[in-house]
Amino acid sequence: MAQTSIVWLRRDLWLADHAALVAACAAGPVLPVYVLDDDTAAHRRMGGASRWWLHHSLAALDAALRAKGSRLILRRGKSDEVLAALAAECGAREVHALHHYEPWWRNAERAVAKRLTLHLHHGNYLAPPGTVLSGAGTPYKIYTPFWRALQERLPPPQPLPAPARIPAPATWPDSDSLDSWNLLPTSPDWAGGFREEWAPGEEGAFERLDTFLACAPKYQARRNFPAVEGTSRLSPHLAFGEISPATTWHRTAALGGSTGTFLGELGWRDYAQNVILQLPDYGARNAKAEFDQLAWREGPEAEADLAAWQQGRTGYPIVDAGMRQLWHSGWMHNRVRMIAASFLIKHLLIDWRRGEQWFWDTLLDADYGQNAVNWQWSAGTGVDANMFVRIMAPLGQSDKFDAAEYIRRWVPELAHLPEAAIHDPPLPVRGYPRKLIEHAEGRARALAAWQALKG
């Protein structure tokens, strides 16, 4: 009888187009395993929002596996130790998994490979990170030439179908109870808005994609308007690996219109992984060392401003709407993410890492590579970044992108204001705060810090 193989699942919680699962099924009985490894991730353990999604995604995956004659084994601890113990229990020697590129997962892969035979497969990205190289054979740090080179390798291979049946081992090892992991908030239960808006799991991912396909050809015209459902809202599903990028590409590419712009966003996702593969500490260290000397604001006043930003109480309606949307739903419109990030960094002169940490904890689509790359882009500190001196004007952005209805939804104390006033409300407005700082004053302070840095 063929030996059992372990399929080690991480951010790849799907059955369709799963190369590791297909390879394991071809070899014999399969033991699908998810290890909650907070030890290896350390300070990059999943935040509260991601843990909510993980609970429901694992429940959905277990149900899908059971429909194919299998089940999901849950264990908690260091990945290499847990997998080695499971292998001893079930007589397995080989582990199949998809490549992951976060530094802690690469460490875990090395540790597992010292104990067991580890087969790593590709499938989480359009092309394997680290393989899109310049003519000189070096990896790209700038997005535009990276995307140009990546396109020469596209489309990605056709997605693999999900196995019709998954061969089961003769006996099943014990599994943790998902509820025992306490991934869901209880006191208080702050996830009501999550439940209203999201359906984690592979089925939910395909439903979300189907909804997006109807408007995908108009993506470029609609994506920057937060009051319009113009984005795909696939990001949490992609972050948890509930649908493959190859599946997303092939379902979208033939629709015409401006779908090419959306496909470029999938390319940005690949780009971010290539950056962290080269610079593993990108989420914690300025790529441009000169910014290490920037005089970020610190102390009680800066902390109070940070708290106001987190709570959506800055006095800038477009920023506050975005931050409240994030807290309620675990997601924020991409244009508003840029505005909110720029406001924290430039207007409030608070270190981008404080914002990155907040997004890591509160975003359902928290992804180390994209979170780090996007924050360093906004801060001007990244290898490919907006210039620090380019400071977004939140009031102008709000008007330009017709955010009135978006503000009315998320900042209800301003809902009664006419469109001419809602972007920059005349004060006082009952229940709404004054601006933490005027735009001109915040801009001048940021530019002064920049000039001091440049000497």
Residues 260 and 362 in one domain: no
Asked if residue 134 lies in contact with residue 145, where contact means CB atoms within 8 angstroms, the answer is yes
**Structural domain tally of the chain?**
3
Q: How confident is the model at residue 427 (pLDDT cuts 50, 70, 90)?
A: confident
Q: Residue 73 has what DSSP assignment? A: E
List the catalytic residue out of 89, 265, 405, 413. Answer: 265
Give the whole-angstrom CA distance, residue 24 versus residue 65. 14
Q: Is residue 160 part of a domain?
A: no
Residues 436 and 411 in one domain: yes
Give the whole-angstrom CA distance, residue 213 versus residue 68. 28
List the catalytic residue out of 53, 198, 309, 352. Answer: 352
The amino acid present at 60, given as its one-letter code, is A
Look at residue 2 in the predicted model and tell me its pLDDT: 85
Asked if residue 393 lies in contact with residue 439, where contact means CB atoms within 8 angstroms, the answer is yes
Q: Does 375 qualify as catalytic in the annotation? A: yes
Q: Is the pLDDT of residue 232 over 90?
A: yes
Domain containing residue 311: 289-454
Q: How far is CA 167 from CA 60, 69, 176, 419, in A?
A: 19, 7, 21, 60
Q: Is residue 313 part of a domain?
A: yes
Residues 250 and 117 in one domain: no
CATH number at residue 266: 1.25.40.80
Q: How confident is the model at residue 229 (pLDDT cuts 50, 70, 90)?
A: confident
**Bridge partners of 429?**
432
Per the prediction, the chain carries an average pLDDT of 97
What is the average pLDDT across 108-136?
97
Q: What is the largest CA-CA distance in the chain?
A: 77
List the catalytic residue out of 147, 181, 190, 268. Answer: 268
Give the whole-angstrom CA distance, residue 306 versus residue 302. 6
418 φ, ψ (degrees, to nearest 5): -70, 165
What is the average pLDDT across 282-303?
97
End-to-end CA, the chain? 72
pTM above 0.75, yes or no: yes
List the catalytic residue out of 296, 327, 405, 413. Answer: 296
List the catalytic residue out of 358, 375, 410, 450. Answer: 375
Residues 333 and 415 in one domain: yes
Q: Is the pLDDT of residue 1 over 80?
A: no
- 310-354 pLDDT, tens digit per residue, is 999 999 999 999 999 999 999 999 999 999 999 999 999 999 999
Residues 220 and 143 in one domain: yes
Q: Does 265 qualify as catalytic in the annotation? A: yes
- How far from the centroid of its chain's Cα atoms is residue 327's Cα? 15
- 399-423 pLDDT, tens digit per residue, is 999 999 999 999 999 999 999 999 9
Give the whole-angstrom CA distance, residue 265 versus residue 259. 10
Q: Does 104 qualify as catalytic in the annotation? A: no
